[in-house]
Amino acid sequence: MTGPLAGVRVVDLTAALAGPYTTMILADLGADIIKVEPPGGEVTRRVGPYPPSDDGQATLGGYFQSVNRGKRSIVLDLKTPEGHAELLELVRNADVLVENFGPGVVERLDISYETMRQVNPRLVYGSLTGFGSTWSGESPYMNWPAMDITIQAMAGALSITGTEDGKPVKIGPGIGDIFPGTMLAIGVLSALFEAERTGQGQQIDVAMFDAMLSLCERIVYQYSYTGQVPKPIGNTHPILTPFDVLEVKDGWIAVAATTQLRWEALCRIMERPELIEDARFRNETCRVEHRAEIRTLLDDWSRDLTRAEVTEKLGGKVPFGPVNDIRDIFDDPHAWARDMLVEIDNPGSSQKAIVAGQPIKFSRTPSKVGTRAPLLNEHGAAIRTENRSPAFERSH
């Protein structure tokens, strides 16, 4: 691996999306991720879609490939003394352990941080739960299970997403999982940096609720400052305008000409320079007060143009973008040029898997999507051999 985390070894006890997304980031940055799976395999191995098989054998599904690429798999039954002992040996030679078990599971399996720190005092132990650990702030919801949509609901995201007169709408991606997973990766990296200086590890606790509330930071200060409860306002912004999605002949576009200079540029592009001096639109505050009138003006201008025509007029001049579906993105050279669409192998199928790339770029130690996701227990023998090697233990 070439990334900045080359040489860092991570024991990955995660499943589903939030935790595997954390370790996926670390894998892309060069860490050696040892994915510990139960005898039947991690649950998302059984989730599609699957590519066509060349020989009738099972192939790796898209869900599993996307967030488990670049990892190595070993099967351990942590409910048995043998499996538990093998995990302790992995932890002895690891830098990081990441887990996202449900409430009480690590205690029942005797794999809590308190147990693991006795084996490896330098260990960074990352925990991702719905509502947090007792030591970092006991919550009345501590034992509640959590999923993306329930966390989006409880942490405020659903209350401000949707149209003004409609029902709450879930944010499209699984952001209630992915954002907490990203925050845990930041926590792990911070604790690794600190451990290098002190020789001591620590536990990191990221609650999905906490992470999502931090993502919804705007509604916190809005309510604190005004006493008003923010509501859904569609594609607009409560304190900026124009900031909206407009219909064109063949689809939709997004425009955000919110500063004075960008508003003036937009007026000139629309061949309406007189709007610059119009008292209703003379500054940002006035434009917010006359949001509906601006929307009418923009609709009158955009509805007779195509996406290509609007792109020619606005592209590079004011903040603008076509509303792309994934087919549009696959056809756009930007995502390929930036290595944000990456092909990886799919065992048993001649069809390559394409997954989202790694957005963090480094000038000297490049990050990259490495190998495909592992087959179940594909690396078990190799990992056990490494872990028994005195040379590995000393060098690590």
Per-residue pLDDT of the chain (396 residues; tens, 9 = 90+): 689 999 999 999 999 999 999 999 999 999 999 999 999 999 999 999 999 998 877 889 999 999 999 999 999 999 999 999 999 999 999 999 999 999 999 999 999 999 999 999 999 999 999 999 999 999 999 999 999 999 999 999 999 999 988 899 999 999 999 999 999 999 999 999 999 999 999 999 999 999 999 999 999 999 999 999 999 999 998 889 999 999 999 999 999 999 999 999 999 999 999 999 999 999 999 999 999 999 999 999 999 999 999 999 999 999 999 999 999 999 999 999 999 999 999 999 999 999 999 999 999 999 999 899 999 999 999 999 999 887 666 455
**Active site residue: 12, 95, 148, 177, which one?**
177
Closest of 63, 55, 74 to residue 10, by C-alpha = 74
Q: Is the dihedral of CA 171, 176, 179, 182 positive or negative?
A: negative
CA distance 275 to 281: 7
Kindly state the greatest CA–CA separation across the chain: 79
DSSP string for residues in 345-372: --TT-SSPEEEE------SSS-----SP
CA distance 371 to 70: 5
Residues with Cβ within 8 Å of residue 83, at least 6 apart in sequence: 76, 77
pTM to 2 decimals? 0.94
Reply yes or no on whether 148 is catalytic.
Answer: no
Closest of 136, 135, 76 to residue 109, by C-alpha = 76
Closest of 45, 159, 43, 172 to residue 100, by C-alpha = 43
